[in-house]
Structure 1
Amino acid sequence: MPVPVIAVFDIGKTNKKLLLLNEQYHIVFEQQTCMQETTDDTGDPCEDLPLLINNMRQQLAAVLTMTDVEIKAVNVSAYGASLVYIDENGEPAGPLYNYLKPYPEELSARFYSSSGHREQFSHQTASPALGSLNAGLQLYRVKHQLPSLYNRTRYVLHLPQFLSYLFSHEPFSEMTSIGCHTGLWDFAGQQYHPWVSREGWLGKLPPIAPTHHTTQVQLGDKTVQAGIGIHDSSAALVPYLLQFREPFILLSTGTWCISMNPFNHEPLTTEELQQDCLCYLRYDGRPVKSSRLFAGHAHEMAVQQIAAFFGEDPQHFKELPYDPQIAARLASSPEFSILALSRYENSSTAYHHLVLSLVKQQYHATRLVMGHTAVRRLFVDGGFARNNIYMHLLAKAFPEMEVYAATVSQASAVGAALVIHDSWNTGPVPVHLVQLKRYAETL
């Protein structure tokens, strides 16, 4: 008998994955693709959207022909802060602009002068002023600087919803994408911010559907439930919310290291906004106070340089054991600098110092989201959860907390499957989705 599964596309900036999960949420198939970026109409790097679309369609068509599995549903987890403009025929009308694309300063000034005080607007929308990382400002740029694209656009879809639309052919908006520092949502009013209506966008933004919504679709000769997609950071939180009832903070590590406190419902303060805090929205529409640190990116760049300086393979650092004596010696050293590698006697010392500096920054970023919540547990998932040195130093930085490396194999994909569990899975949600390994301070 074929095994019932859900197909989940987990679309990151670098890696694109297709996973098949069975009813116990075990991965029974995984395919990973790395894609080169292309450039947009002004020469800035951006996702190669036509290539991504073709790859996803081909990959799903291939797994639909498998005889040992029966695909019951499909859903998408994807990065946020990215918009796809589709025309009357449902085809992309322009490039998928990169959220790191420089934002025109004069346009930013015009926007904030017309939307009220910048600080007040950021409070209302739980979105620090981040230029293109505020997806609403991307749409504002298109309307005011690219009228031809704007006029061709029938619907504006957040990336996770567009990628799901490829299979459902029904356009929707969804809360975790809208709440991803877009500047579009009034968190207190629980509706689009008034500026969205003033710009005349309500007709271009598809109706908001709940994250668990599915559409029955015909894919080849198979009838499948298609989800509407979910923002990947919010998806990664789902397994934890379903398994743990006591308050916790999830530190989701990757290119960005995001500290998420689903139990802190205090309004963002000015100080928090100035330090890059924001609120996401959970799959159930409740706010999650979060802080961001570009630590994964900084780590990757520095590792390449340390490896080159000492003539070693960058992979070598993945296996380095934690040395508490080196950490103790470095505790009072100046901050790590890639310009001062000659002061280290070996690559291990340099790497320990790099990670120590990143953990110091992470400590500050994570403390920002604690608020007055009685949080005693810190779960770390993603790349740094597998880094022994990082985990030991983090436990040392938070001696009053229980610090765990948390393992949910492919947490974002599992979260995307869980939110539509009732549409495809005949069994209960498994009890032990998350595996934990505790780290304690090492003297």
Structure 2
Amino acid sequence: MNVIAIFDIGKTNKKLFLFDEQYQIVWEKSEPFVEIPDEDGDLCEDLNRLSSWVKVSLAEVMALPEFLVLGVNFSTYGASLVYIDQAGQPLSPLYNYLKTYPASLLRQFFDTYGPESDITRQTASPSLGSLNSGLQVYRLKYEQPGLFEELAFALHLPQYVSYLISHWPVSELTSIGCHTMLWDFDRQDYHAWVSNEKIDSRLAPIVPSDSTRPTVINDRSIQVGVGLHDSSAALIPYLASFHEPFVLISTGTWCVSMNPFNSSPLTSEELQYDCLNYMHYKGQPVKSSRLFAGYEHEQQVKRLAEHFQVAVNQYVQVEYNPYSIEQLRQHAGLVTTENDAKGKQLLSMQGSLFGQRNLSDFATYNEAYHQLILDIVAQQLISTNLVLTDTSTNRTTVKRIFVDGGFGKNPVYMNLLARAFPDIEVYAASVAQASALGAALAIHHHWNPHPLPIDCVELKKYTASVIA
């Protein structure tokens, strides 16, 4: 059977899938990794173990007699760089993107290249410290100058994992364009600070995101892709399946609203609300907004479980109750409109209003849980609205909102989202392993003679049900 191998590397779980020519998963394995400390004691990826696992796992599937591996590609988390020397050996740990960034160095950077509002707008990157991977290289230059001198290439993680197989050091736009502070969206080139700091010579040549290189493995030539940032990869199955304008809310720890049909430049206000650009694998910016809602949900259901003396996952038993919603709207002093909400709630990594609510005000767990989701959806409404309207035309062309990930399986969230957007069709969308599938579809024409599939996505529609 002809297959493509896809490595899907998350922060915790590392996965390998084989897809057949119809993009069905025919083989898979998954392994959790434990983080290790870097030289400062901060937890980070175990790079040696990851590198070994990728090489051994590919050799394993290449040896399976029932499959003929024709290609391989990679989808990994972003905002992470591997520094390699001329021999291709890593020079440092794979530093965690949550590592605290030195305030004095950040001040030095913006004093030299700011003001901050200009550079964040030009690079479509909220100022996020280590989450701006360009600032990671800047830090390396000033904190470890000797190591910087030895640096041949700083490779984003998807391209490093690809390099392990292809030995082809490259950069590509889904990694460069995602809140890195490296890319100037006005000029469509690296920002001026990158060349001023002589960092551009340490970044590998840019190639198209759907590039491959024939590589001989076990006496057989296979097409090796250059890897993709996982958020951009997850969008590809939707772009293959739907051509009318849509917004995808990809939900997990972060809830990311992505509008690939909105080309208006980011404004300073949008950046303050944690809007950013992801990059379409064909190179166009994808206007996006982020909300830390999955994390907020995780923290609050622990609080609810403790208060009501139930299991932490009790919320999976909760069915949507429109009557409860009406009662809460009337009695809980709820934020009910976007304008009210904007004045009272901050977005992004701020918690919802629920964190300040007194749980003794709720008679039952179910009632309190409905309030939690009401508060989260109040934030989601603001966050998604930031990318719905194209500010250059002041028009909303979006006809559908798709929700994938954990909240797509949550009936309370989905019903309340449908109520929040009564003029737009709201769907729970299900794609088996969206990021991995996207990485496979990106290099379709290099390995698969069949037409691109158009039925990758399963949909379930929600409508705004209310009490008469």
State the TM-score, normalized to the length of structure 2. 0.91
2: CA distance, partners of 1:255 / 1:246: 28
Give the conservation status (yes or no) of the 8 Å contact 1:263–1:373.
no
CA-to-aligned-CA distance 1:169-220 (integer Å, 9 cap, x gap):
1110000000001111111111111111111122210000101110111222
Q: Which residue of 2 aligns with 1:142?
A: 140
Q: Which residue of 2 aligns with 1:404?
A: 427
Letter of the 2:429 counterpart: A
2: CA distance, partners of 1:349 / 1:294: 23
Give the conservation status (yes or no) of the 8 Å contact 1:100–1:132.
yes
Greater CA deviation, 214-223 or 191-200?
214-223
Q: Which residue of 1 aligns with 2:412?
A: 389
CA-to-aligned-CA distance 1:33-56 (integer Å, 9 cap, x gap):
221111211111212222222222
Q: Which residue of 2 aligns with 1:422?
A: 445
1:290 aligns with 2:310: no
Q: Which residue of 1 aligns with 2:174?
A: 176
1:363 aligns with 2:361: no
Q: Which residue of 1 aligns with 2:58?
A: 60
CA-to-aligned-CA distance 1:378-432 (integer Å, 9 cap, x gap):
0111111111111111111111110001111111111100110011111110121
Letter of the 1:398 counterpart: F
1: CA distance, partners of 2:308 / 2:258: 36
The unaligned stretches of length 5 or more in structure 1 are: none
Give the conservation status (yes or no) of the 8 Å contact 2:5–2:73.
yes
RMSD: 1.4
Q: Which residue of 1 aligns with 2:360?
A: 342
> Aligned match of 1:306 in 304, 307, 311?
304
Displacement of 1:338 in angstroms is 6.7
Displacement of 1:23 in angstroms is 0.9
> Aligned match of 1:151 in 139, 149, 152?
149
CA-to-aligned-CA distance 1:320-379 (integer Å, 9 cap, x gap):
221222222223525322773333222222222222211111110000011233112101
Residue correspondence of structure 1 range 222-261 to structure 2 within 5 A = 222-261=220-259
2: CA distance, partners of 1:156 / 1:8: 23
Letter of the 2:413 counterpart: Y
2: CA distance, partners of 1:51 / 1:339: 44
Q: Which residue of 1 aligns with 2:343?
A: none
Letter of the 2:459 counterpart: L
Partner SS for 1:203: helix
CA-to-aligned-CA distance 1:297-333 (integer Å, 9 cap, x gap):
1112222232233332223322422122222222352
Change (3 A) 1:339 1:147: farther
Change (3 A) 1:5 1:116: same
Partner SS for 1:437: strand
Displacement of 1:246 in angstroms is 1.0
Give the conservation status (yes or no) of the 8 Å contact 1:279–1:290.
yes
Q: Which residue of 2 aligns with 1:199?
A: 197
Change (3 A) 1:327 1:16: farther
Change (3 A) 1:331 1:37: farther
Give the conservation status (yes or no) of the 8 Å contact 1:181–1:278.
yes
Displacement of 1:144 in angstroms is 0.6
Give the conservation status (yes or no) of the 8 Å contact 2:97–2:130.
yes
2: CA distance, partners of 1:327 / 1:162: 49
Give the conservation status (yes or no) of the 8 Å contact 2:240–2:453.
no
> Aligned match of 1:274 in 269, 272, 275?
272
Give the conservation status (yes or no) of the 8 Å contact 2:301–2:313.
no
2: CA distance, partners of 1:62 / 1:411: 24
Identity, in percent, stands at 52
2: CA distance, partners of 1:89 / 1:319: 55
Partner SS for 2:71: strand
2: CA distance, partners of 1:14 / 1:345: 37
Change (3 A) 1:356 1:394: same
1: CA distance, partners of 2:361 / 2:219: 65
CA-to-aligned-CA distance 1:87-129 (integer Å, 9 cap, x gap):
1221211011111111111111110111131111111111111
Change (3 A) 1:14 1:343: farther
Displacement of 1:57 in angstroms is 2.1
Change (3 A) 1:393 1:208: same
Change (3 A) 1:204 1:55: same
Q: Which residue of 2 aligns with 1:375?
A: 398
Displacement of 1:64 in angstroms is 1.7
The unaligned stretches of length 5 or more in structure 2 are: 335-352, 390-394
Greater CA deviation, 252-261 or 30-39?
30-39
2: CA distance, partners of 1:345 / 1:31: 44
1:190 aligns with 2:188: yes
Displacement of 1:236 in angstroms is 0.7
2: CA distance, partners of 1:399 / 1:30: 40
Letter of the 1:140 counterpart: Y
Partner SS for 2:358: helix
Q: Which runs of 4+ in 1 moved over 3 A?
A: none
1: CA distance, partners of 2:401 / 2:35: 35
Give the conservation status (yes or no) of the 8 Å contact 1:217–1:223.
yes
> Aligned match of 1:352 in 351, 370, 374?
370
1: CA distance, partners of 2:146 / 2:304: 47
Partner SS for 1:166: helix
